[in-house]
Amino acid sequence: MDRRTNLKWMAAAVAAGCVKESLARNPQVAVPVKGNPIVPSRGLCDPQARVYDGRVYLYATHDASPASRGFMMNDWWVWRSQNLVDWEQVSTLKPEQTYWGKPSDQCWATDAARRDGKYFFYFSRGPNEIGVVSSDRPDGPWHDPLGKPLIAKGSVATEARDPGILQEADGTSYIVFGTWKYFIAKLNPDMVSLAEEPRLIEIRNPQGPYGRGRTDDKPFLHRRGDKYYLSWGCFYGISDSPYGPYDCKGSIISRETVDPEFRTIPAPTDIPAPFRPADMTTADRHGSFFELHGQWYFICNDFSQPGTSSYFRNSVISYVRYRRNGEIVPLRLTRTGVGQYDALKGIDAADFFAISKGEIVEQSDGQFGVGGLRDGSWILYPKVRNLRPAPRLILRAGAADRGATVEIRRAGPKGALLAKAGLPAMPEGEISVTLRTNRVTEDLCLVVRGTPEKVILRSLSFSELT
């Protein structure tokens, strides 16, 4: 997708929200969701996110019932969103549509990929083997091109389940899978056959929710820059090669950075003590990393809310911050979630929804801001709620060029002008402007003007709120 197409999708995401098309062949369910969990009380779990043409698709499993006393998963789901706030179900894959050929309650973890105009949906047949279906669309209808497993039971020294797909910029693709021990293999260009025998991945100093020396199930691979990240739930390692070895860096979820309402997770009583995590906030965080409009996210399982359990789970989403050395900062898991903002709590500038000509940068104090800004740069913060008429916006920012200014516009860089102010001199300071709006909720876009040598934006806060 070229840059102009990408910018068009960004603008459409704000102007139209989540577009709900009527696809007669796939019943859709529109859910008015606002924050975390993204789709509450539906059993949407094991979310693997893929971005296609400006939309995020979740290839997920589906816990059948709050009354389940074990993993009861009768089908696989596809959900999508354009703004990460409003989600809609667009497809269901049943085991009868695969080589499996009959109903089952073991429709386990999935992933997906696109190559040469085709879409591939990888799935686990319980803990035993991995299959794949394909389509001309990201939401099906699906066809089983093999009529048999892609990775069969007993083919490697681990359970053949929980596929994760890594795709390089040139299309080269890998599949990672397994429990406790992970294996990786390059896929052929057809995406439905292996180009090599699976290789065991070495993880140095591994740890997981059950303590040091052990990992977990549900591996996932992603790449950022020249670093490869292998994650298992909320634990991860870093390598210079997709094959490893990976140096374990610990957990990206910590009780200290999780909102209180997400900390109370009861330990399952039907699991033997050695397999009960000491800290339940790190338990079963099967999820995936993805990038959208210059922002990185992590989406994962959660069963902290009333009505959930380890067998009836939700999905939650958070922003991701990478330090200069590549390590990931512990995530902030909040009720507000992503893609929308509460003016009462203020906004970290790095938590934008979309950006043009700028990037997230780590500051000398270890905090993060938005830098690399220049003339014409813009940053988008949609759905800022709890505003009152003519609110005061306080920007913490700085610029090396005293002639630099920032415009605050509605919905996009060409939207209605709400305010304008000069940026303070570096290193940074605060500027306060009155927004010309009477709306309770606004889509705010900050546009940099002038030819600044250096601009940094740290935060947005508001006074005179509702």
| One-letter amino acid of 398 | G
pLDDT band at 130 (very low <50, low <70, confident <90, very high): very high
Mean residue pLDDT of the chain comes to 91
Contacts of 301 (CB under 8 A, 6+ apart): 45, 46, 47, 284, 285, 286, 287, 313, 314, 315, 316
According to DSSP, the β-strands at 203-204 and 246-251 are: parallel
Model confidence pLDDT, tens digit, residues 336-389? 999 999 999 999 999 999 999 999 999 989 999 999 998 999 999 999 999 999
pLDDT at 413: 97
Out of 1.10.8.100, 3.40.47.10, 2.60.120.260, 3.40.630.10, the CATH code matching 354-463 is 2.60.120.260
Which tokens hold the place of 159?
Answer: 């359970």
Say yes or no to pLDDT of 402 above 80. no
Q: Give tens-digit pLDDT for 164-189.
A: 999 999 999 999 999 999 999 999 99
Question: What pLDDT does residue 21 have?
Answer: 35
Q: Which two tokens stand for residue 259?
A: 């909102």
Work out the average pLDDT over 443-451.
92
Average pLDDT in the 93-121 region? Answer: 98
Write down the pLDDT at residue 265.
Answer: 82
Comparing 78-87, 192-201, 277-286, the range with the smallest average pLDDT is 277-286
Spatial distance between the Cα atoms of 209 and 215, rounded to a whole number of angstroms:
7
Q: Name the percent of the chain lying above pLDDT 70.
A: 90
Spell out the domain ranges in the chain: 3-339, 354-463
Q: Which of 40-54, 402-416, 420-434 has the highest mean pLDDT?
A: 40-54
DSSP letter (8 states) at residue 417: E
Q: Residue 465's pLDDT band (boundaries 50, 70, 90)?
A: low
Least confident range of 11-15, 245-249, 430-434: 11-15
256 by DSSP, 3-state: which? helix
- 3-339, what's its fold? Tachylectin-2; Chain A (2.115.10)
Residue of higher predicted confidence among 245 and 31: 245
